[in-house]
Amino acid sequence: MAQRIAVIPGDGIGKEVMPEGVRALEAAAERFGIEIELTDFDFASCDYYAEHGQMLPDDWFDQLKDFDALFYGAVGWPETVPDHVSLWGSLLQFRRRFDQYVNLRPCRLLPGVKSPLADRQPGDIDFYVVRENTEGEYSSVGGKMFEGTEREVVIQETVMTRHGTDRVLRFAYELARSRPRKKLTSATKSNGIAITMPWWDERVKAMGANYPEVSVDQFHIDILTANFVMHPDWFDVVVASNLFGDILSDLGPACTGTIGVAPSANINPEGTFPSLFEPVHGSAPDIAGKGIANPIGQIWSAAMMLEHLGHQEAADAIVAAFEAVLAEGDRNVLTPDVGGTGTTEGMGRAITERIKG
């Protein structure tokens, strides 16, 4: 049976990199005999908002829920729709309603890409950030008292549940176990956040009892961020709460050079609902319309999607293809963010040709 994929380009450069992501996906599917069926959607974009006054149609959940995966570009066009409206009205709805409780970001220095960290070579930086994606610090529980007076009080609670914590920890341990180094690092702050974070540490330890082959360490978030910069080679799989993971999953890809190459996955591991795959970058209004956005973030996201759907070989072929194009270093092919003078389409086509083999 064909694997059904919803294609949602979104805004700005999302509309420019998506065709390259689709081209790469189709080439890999054809080469490895994978049947895929793509369906395009124009919603979850600010153009859709301009026409309908909302980011999504009322029945979006029913329209999307039976897909095997969602392939997303980028959302946001602040000139017409404020970012919090476009984001909350689209991506965050998908994450919540489809219970995509794992946010997964590979942080890997690619050949031919210069890390902002001095003297780092491919191989030095190769880890994953696993972020809890549904609860924790982003729970919108709290309130204000005595607003506008000298006695004003503002409270926002962190909500961590055993169910919500254990399931993301399980995912992180499984991922660590599947990798050669089998190493898990937990982001904590149990010296300052004295209730939730010591409990988080306990849950990390308790889950670890099921994974004796995985070695575990933990760092407070402040020194952990410093170590991402000073010792990125220490890390293999890093697991973190929603807020800490948010920070780490931007810092990690930043250490690997251009934001244009970084992919991400929002995963519902049980497959009850579709998972969503998108580049880390946003809609980049500053370069939108110029045809110079790096398509690798979108293309790598396609590889993550194929891996998630069980097609490891096809995923590997996509990764090998963009690594080869980067390593070759032809300035006429590479986009400006990686030192070339090429275009989104030119680089996309060069990668697709390699995928075809």
Q: How far is CA 32 from the centre of its chain?
A: 25
Are residues 223 and 190 in contact, defined by beta-carbon separation less than 8 angstroms?
A: no
* Residue of 282, 295, 342, 346 interacting with Mg ion (CB under 5 A): 282
Q: Which does residue 294 bind out of ligand ATP, Mg ion, none, counting CB within 5 to 8 angstroms by kind?
A: ligand ATP
CB of 297 to ligand ATP, least distance (A): 5
Minimum CB separation of residue 58 from ligand ATP in Å reads: 25
Chain centroid to CA 235: how far?
Answer: 18
- What residues contact 231, with CB distance under 8 A and at least 6 apart? none
Give me the helices (H) in the chain, please.
Answer: 14-31, 46-52, 60-64, 83-88, 91-97, 162-178, 196-208, 221-230, 242-255, 296-308, 312-328, 344-356
> Distance between CA atoms of 326 and 272, rounded to whole angstroms?
37
The type of residue at 163 is: H
131 vs 281, which CB is nearer to ligand ATP?
281
Mapped onto helix, strand or coil, the DSSP state of residue 134 is coil
Q: Per the structure block, which two tokens stand in for 304?
A: 């993550």
* Contact partner at residue 259 from Mg ion, ligand ATP, none, CB < 5 to 8 Å by partner kind: ligand ATP
Asked whether position 11 contacts ligand ATP by CB under 6 A, the answer is: no
Angstrom distance (rounded) from CA 126 to CA 235: 7
Q: How far is the CB of 76 from Mg ion (least distance, A)?
A: 4
Site membership for Mg ion, residue 14 (CB under 5 A):
no
- Choose which of 14, 76, 89, 340 interacts with ligand ATP (CB under 6 A): 76
Q: Least separation, in Å, of the C-beta of 90 and ligand ATP? A: 11
Residue 21 in contact with Mg ion, rule: CB under 5 A: no
- The site map against ligand ATP for 241-270 (x = CB under 6 A) is ------------------xx----------
Q: In the bound complex, which residue of the shown chain has the CB atom lying closest to ligand ATP?
A: 282
329 touches 112 (CB < 8 A): yes
Q: Is 12 in the site for Mg ion (CB under 5 A)?
A: no
Report what 337 binds from ligand ATP, Mg ion, none; CB cut-off 5-8 Å by kind: ligand ATP
- Closest Cα partner for 17 from 322, 312, 332? 322
| Strands 126-132, 183-188: pairing kind | unpaired
- Residue from 9, 10, 21, 76 in contact with Mg ion (CB under 5 A): 76
Contact letters for ligand ATP, residues 269-298 (x by CB under 6 A): ------------xxxx-xx-----xx--x-
Among the listed ranges 13-21, 74-82, 140-148, 190-198, the one in contact with Mg ion (CB under 5 A) is: 74-82
* CB-nearer residue toward ligand ATP: 164 or 297: 297
281 binds, among Mg ion, ligand ATP, none (CB under 5 to 8 A by kind): ligand ATP
Instruction: Retrieve residue 192's tokens.
Output: 């300052």
Half-sphere exposure of 254 (CA within 13 A, CB side): 9
Q: With binding defined as CB under 6 A, does residue 92 bind ligand ATP?
A: no
Residues in the chain: 357
Interface residues with ligand ATP (CB under 6 A) are: 13, 76, 259-260, 281-284, 286-287, 293-294, 297, 337
Interface residues with Mg ion (CB under 5 A) are: 76, 282
